[in-house]
């Protein structure tokens, strides 16, 4: 979710016994875009490792829209502009690799989009599946100045919900009524509103072959870190953190997580590192196998790392008209 994700990607020499694997798509996190060097190489290295065809899928204008386009609109941008229905490479099914916020878009594709090809495996790295009780960590760039100004207002107002993507999954345990009534994305995605629960969402989500939930032990971006496993705080308080199996979402099986888990199709994985900081061995062990055909065998030979990608950032230059608009709107004369 951070604007400068840290992803260590290494080239592995893998031996396989299969000649065919489903393709996969990568959905990036907030503040990122597919044209960034890090995302390009991450997608390519996953493809090299798994011997599967991979595609990084852009959402609107990339980094800008990842911050300021509401999540439902981001989902529709994928559905209609990219449209998995139109990509012949995905027609026989595909896998999804989600990075942070991108996991919510990936789940939206699974739950909300009908008539498309089947999603086989969903591999989630640091996804805020149960929400986050804090806004994403930011810095001093244009995104952060605008986001920080917006966040100073009430997070569940119509204006914030329409102009700040993370507001769609910011879940404050001490303001649950406002969250359920006015938060526009996560309550729908998680089937949290009793009178609006949709059994089709549960049916589609529980149709996944495997759900891989990777939590980062030192994560300070999604709060609590256990949200990556669907763990969260009880309603009304910030302690303790409930395990996923202790939440109402799981117990009452609102989206089919319990169904998947009882069928042995959920992998709860804990890795060392901060948000999206994943090692060579963990990529090989916990990501790559789910992008391969199920009969694939993996050789243990791992040569010296050829590349490590650290802290890449966007080089996009924002048009003066856009900067001026938000400067005037939010009273930020130093936005440049």
The active-site residue, picked from 50, 275, 314, 327, is 275
In this prediction, residue 152 carries a pLDDT of: 52
Tokens 């996804």 correspond to what residue? 127
Give me the percent of the chain exceeding a pLDDT of 90.
59
In this prediction, residue 146 carries a pLDDT of: 65
Contact by Cβ (8 Å): 59, 83: no
Does 156 score more than 50 pLDDT? yes
Task: Label residue 31 by pLDDT band (50, 70, 90).
Answer: confident
Concerning whether 83 is annotated as a catalytic residue, the answer is no
Does 48 score more than 70 pLDDT? yes
Which is higher by pLDDT, 334 or 188? 188
* Most confident option among 34-38, 79-83, 198-202: 198-202
In this prediction, residue 312 carries a pLDDT of: 31
Contact by Cβ (8 Å): 311, 257: no
User: What is the rounded CA–CA span in Å between residue 73 and residue 105?
Assistant: 10
* Most confident option among 64-68, 147-151, 163-167, 194-198: 194-198
> What proportions of the chain, in percent to the nearest 5, are helix, strand and coil?
40, 10, 50
Task: Label residue 297 by pLDDT band (50, 70, 90).
Answer: very low
Least confident of 24-33, 106-115, 147-156: 147-156
In this prediction, residue 4 carries a pLDDT of: 43
Task: Label residue 3 by pLDDT band (50, 70, 90).
Answer: very low
Q: Per residue in 86-120, pLDDT tens?
A: 788 998 999 999 999 999 999 999 999 888 899 99
The active-site residue, picked from 50, 100, 167, 206, is 100
Q: Per residue in 239-287, pLDDT tens?
A: 999 999 999 999 999 999 999 999 999 999 999 999 999 998 899 999 9
Concerning whether 219 is annotated as a catalytic residue, the answer is yes
In this prediction, residue 47 carries a pLDDT of: 96
In this prediction, residue 309 carries a pLDDT of: 31
Least confident of 142-146, 263-267, 281-285, 315-319: 315-319
Does 18 score more than 70 pLDDT? no
In this prediction, residue 78 carries a pLDDT of: 75
Q: DSSP character for 82?
A: I
Does 221 score more than 80 pLDDT? yes
Sign of CA dihedral 29, 34, 39, 42: positive
Does 129 score more than 50 pLDDT? yes
User: What is the rounded CA–CA span in Å between residue 115 and residue 113?
Assistant: 7
Which is higher by pLDDT, 332 or 201? 201
The active-site residue, picked from 21, 129, 167, 219, is 219
Q: What pairs with residue 270 in β-bridges?
A: 215
Concerning whether 158 is annotated as a catalytic residue, the answer is no
């Amino acid at each position: 979710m951070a604007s400068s994700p840290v992803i260590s990607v290494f080239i592995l020499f893998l031996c396989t016994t299969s000649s065919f694997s489903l393709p996969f798509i990568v959905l990036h996190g907030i503040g990122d875009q597919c044209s960034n060097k890090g995302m390009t190489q991450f997608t390519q290295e996953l493809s090299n490792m798994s011997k599967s065809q991979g595609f990084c899928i852009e959402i609107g204008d990339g980094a800008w829209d990842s911050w300021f386009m509401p999540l439902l609109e981001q989902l529709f941008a994928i559905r209609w502009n990219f449209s998995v229905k139109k990509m012949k490479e995905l027609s026989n099914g595909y896998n999804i690799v989600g990075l942070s916020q991108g996991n919510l878009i990936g789940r939206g594709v699974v739950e909300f989009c009908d008539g498309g090809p089947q999603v086989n495996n969903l591999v989630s790295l640091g996804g805020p599946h149960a929400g986050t009780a804090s806004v994403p960590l930011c810095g001093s760039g244009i995104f952060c100045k605008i986001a920080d100004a917006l966040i100073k207002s009430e997070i569940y107002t119509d204006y914030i919900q329409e102009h700040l993507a993370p507001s769609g999954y910011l879940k404050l345990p001490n303001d649950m009524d406002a969250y359920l009534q006015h938060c526009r994305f996560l309550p729908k995605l998680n089937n949290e509103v009793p009178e609006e629960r949709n059994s089709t969402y549960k049916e589609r989500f529980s149709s996944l072959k495997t759900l891989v939930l990777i939590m980062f032990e030192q994560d300070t971006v999604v709060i609590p870190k256990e949200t990556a496993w669907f763990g969260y705080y009880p309603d009304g308080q910030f302690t303790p953190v409930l395990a996923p199996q202790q939440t109402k979402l799981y117990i009452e099986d609102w989206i089919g997580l319990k169904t998947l888990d009882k069928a042995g199709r959920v992998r709860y994985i804990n890795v060392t590192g901060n948000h999206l900081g994943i090692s060579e061995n963990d990529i090989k062990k916990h990501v790559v196998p789910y992008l391969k055909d199920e009969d694939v065998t993996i050789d243990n030979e791992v040569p010296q790392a050829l590349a490590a990608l650290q802290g890449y950032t966007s080089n996009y230059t924002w048009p003066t008209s856009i900067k001026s608009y938000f400067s005037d709107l939010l009273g930020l004369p130093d936005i440049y």
